[in-house]
């Protein structure tokens, strides 16, 4: 499990987690400044977290060990 802190930007924010093949693992519409993502049911490996709101789009890599 990992935590995403969106600061004060929460309106119209979506969080999507993809595996290395581009398959969507988790998709959430954020309603809180702090969002937890649980990947405990997924295999070890590299995942990509994409956070999108009306102003920005950010993609970060997460490594599950």
41-55 pLDDT, tens digit per residue, is: 999 999 999 999 888
Domain hosting 22: range is: 2-64
Q: Is the pTM here over 0.75, yes or no?
A: yes
| The pLDDT value given to residue 3 | 86
Strands (E), the chain: 2-5, 13-18, 24-30, 34-37, 45-52, 57-64
**What is the number of structural domains in the chain?**
1
Q: Which CATH number fits the domain that encloses residue 48?
A: 2.60.40
10-39 pLDDT, tens digit per residue, is: 678 899 999 999 999 999 987 778 889 999
For residue 55 the two structure tokens come to 């102003």
């Amino acid at each position: 499990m990992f935590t995403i802190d969106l600061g004060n930007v929460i309106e119209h924010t979506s969080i999507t987690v993809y595996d290395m093949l581009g398959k969507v693992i988790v998709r959430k519409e954020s309603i809180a400044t702090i969002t937890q993502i649980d990947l405990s049911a997924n295999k070890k490996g590299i995942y990509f977290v994409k956070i999108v709101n009306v102003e920005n789009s950010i993609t970060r890599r997460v490594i599950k060990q």
